[in-house]
Amino acid sequence: MDSQIKGVSTGTTILAVTFNGGVIIGSDSRASIGGYYVSSKTINKLIQVHDRIFCCIAGSLADAQVVTKAAKFQISFHSIQMESPPLVKAAASVLKELCYNNKEELQAGFITAGWDRKKGPQVYTVALGGMLLSQPFTIGGSGSTYIYGYADAKYKPDMSKEECLQFATNALALAMGRDNVSGGVAHLVVITEEGVEHVVIPGDKLPKFHDE
């Protein structure tokens, strides 16, 4: 579906996984036009919308950039009004409202992940039509089709940070290996109460599997 989007699309693989004490959000870095020209090898699809809340985008890049910009503004305004850091659910809801109210024009889906004081680490999916769903982990983008089986089999609740990093890296590597519109480097962001840590894994350092 992503590869039928006109213009630049992030035919992509994105995921977010909760672990014991935090959440990891990750993506590949390829942007393509029509599935046959890579317009950027190093695009960053992980957008920081607040101190401990990130979202990642799949679908039309233009739509996603506009929506996240609007969401970023609304969330910081909301957090100033409330005089406290926003809840992850609030950030996800803002994205959802934008997607649902403009569902005819927009073609972008989001994964929101972050940490807040009330519920700890959380992951929310906002699908194309504006559905909002909370899940322990989620995968999205065109490359996610290929890793449903892997994610279902390998995910365990309450993993440690290292196990979770390994799970996310493997999942991205497998998807990038099978999906032609996902590739480049793997971007991972680890969000915990203490702070935010970026991990970038270049293509040649990704885990290799049996036929590589």
Partner 1 sequence: MSIHDFKESNFIPGNGGLDRKVSTRPATSLSCAKRKCFKMLDESPEPGWLSEEVKTGTTIIAIEFDGGVVLGSDSRVSAGETVVNRVMNKLSLLHDKIYCALSGSAADAQTIAEMVNYQLDVHSIEVGEDPQVRSAATLVKNISYKYKEELSAHLIVAGWDKRGGGQVYVTLNGLLSRQPFAVGGSGSSYVYGFVDAEYRKAMSKEDCQQFVVNTLSLAMSRDGSSGGVAYLVTIDKKGAEEKCILGNELPTFYDQ
Amino acid in the structure at residue 11: G
Could you tell me if 160 and 22 are in contact, meaning their C-beta atoms sit under 8 angstroms apart?
Answer: no
Binding site for partner 1 (CB under 8 A): 1, 101, 103, 109, 127-131, 145-157, 170-171, 174-175, 177-178, 209-211
CB of residue 184 vs partner 1: minimum separation in angstroms? Answer: 18
CB of residue 150 vs partner 1: minimum separation in angstroms? Answer: 4
Could you tell me if 31 and 61 are in contact, meaning their C-beta atoms sit under 8 angstroms apart?
Answer: yes
Active-site residue, from 12, 13, 112, 138:
12
Could you tell me if 103 and 130 are in contact, meaning their C-beta atoms sit under 8 angstroms apart?
Answer: yes
Cα–Cα–Cα angle for 82, 87, 91, nearest 5°? 100
Measure the CA–CA gap between 205 and 51, rounded to whole angstroms.
29
* Cβ-based neighbour number of residue 209 at 10 Å: 10
CB of residue 155 vs partner 1: minimum separation in angstroms? Answer: 6
Q: For partner 1, which is the closer residue by CB, 68 or 142?
A: 142
Q: For partner 1, which is the closer residue by CB, 116 or 179?
A: 179
12 in active site = yes
Q: For partner 1, which is the closer residue by CB, 173 or 189?
A: 173
Q: Which residues are catalytic?
A: 12
